Amino acid sequence: MNKNMVYFVMYIVLIVELLIVITERDELEEKEALIRDKMLNTLVESYKQPLILSIPQRVSDYNISSKEPMRVVLTPAGLVSDVEKKNLKFFITIDKKSKKAPFRWPSKGISLGDSTKYYKVIKENGNAVFVADFKRMGDFRFNAYCTVQREFPSYLPDYLYESLLEKVGEFKTATSDVESFKINVKTLGGVKKKRAEISF
């Protein structure tokens, strides 16, 4: 009888310990799920932030007799990863408000990978720079914007990647608002051009 009682007590102790382990496991899984959801929501919010393009100096004067080309800095904001910074695309077109286009300006405008001898878009220190070698005087207005395909972290497991993709949805492609800037090309009596630049 005493032997049976010992076995019974041991059985009860094992059951209790098993229940404790199961409870702790469930609590741990709940905490992990909570942490995962918070991390996912944080990522979603960061990817839903708008892509912004700013032009520090919207109006510039350029001396047509200058030996150096005109440079206008375009500064993007709202990028989440280094891959996005690398794949960001910039586009510049002539504004309809501009009375005329610069000499040999492409009808479809220019972009990071589609520049010309006289007009280029290059990357520099995380920004884009519009480089123009004007051959004709005039007041020229331009429009600029940028766009990028959102890139998710490669370290995410498949189930988190799918959840993030589902929640981000239409925000997978981000495009900035169109920003305008103006360049007055003229003879400045030997004064060097004003450079539209930003310092970090």
CATH number at residue 78: 2.60.40.10
Is residue 92 domain-shared with residue 23, that is, in the same domain?
no
Is residue 121 domain-shared with residue 175, that is, in the same domain?
yes
Domain containing residue 131: 51-186
At 7 the three-state DSSP class reads: helix
pLDDT of the residue at 26: 65
Is residue 72 domain-shared with residue 43, that is, in the same domain?
no
**Are the C-beta atoms of residues 127 and 115 closer than 8 Å to each other?**
no
> Which tens digit of pLDDT belongs to each residue from 89-118?
999 999 998 888 999 999 999 998 888 999
Nearest to 51 by CA among 128, 114, 121: 128
Dihedral of the CA atoms 31, 33, 37, 40 (nearest 10)?
A: 110
Phi then psi for 144, rounded to 5 degrees?
-135, 145
Helix, strand, coil % over all residues of the chain, rounded to 5: 35, 30, 35
> Which tens digit of pLDDT belongs to each residue from 17-61?
777 777 767 666 677 667 677 777 777 777 778 899 999 999 999
> Which tens digit of pLDDT belongs to each residue from 114-166?
889 999 999 988 899 999 999 999 999 999 999 998 877 777 777 777 777 77
pLDDT of the residue at 200: 33
Is residue 65 domain-shared with residue 12, that is, in the same domain?
no
Dihedral of the CA atoms 188, 104, 108, 145 (nearest 10)?
A: -20
Instruction: Give the separation between CA 32 and CA 102, rounded to whole angstroms.
Output: 59
CA 157 vs CA 119, 129, 147, 154, 162: distances in Å: 44, 37, 27, 8, 9
Is residue 8 domain-shared with residue 68, that is, in the same domain?
no
Is residue 8 domain-shared with residue 80, that is, in the same domain?
no
Task: Specify if 55 maps to a domain.
Answer: yes
Instruction: Write the DSSP string, 75-116.
Output: EEE---SHHHHHH-EEEEEE-TTSSSPPTT--TT-EETTB--
Bin 169: left if φ > 0, else alpha if -120 < ψ < 50, else beta. Answer: left
pLDDT of the residue at 191: 44
The pTM score is 0.70
Instruction: Give the separation between CA 130 and CA 197, rounded to whole angstroms.
Output: 11
39-69: b or e for each residue (b if 16 or more CB lie within 10 Å)? eeeebbeebeeebebebeeeebbbbbebeeb
- Indicate the range of 81-85, 136-140, 168-172, 184-188 predicted with least confidence: 168-172
The continuous run of DSSP H or E covering 186 comes out as: strand 179-186
Domains held by the chain: number: 2
Span 167-190, mean pLDDT?
83
Task: Specify if 182 maps to a domain.
Answer: yes
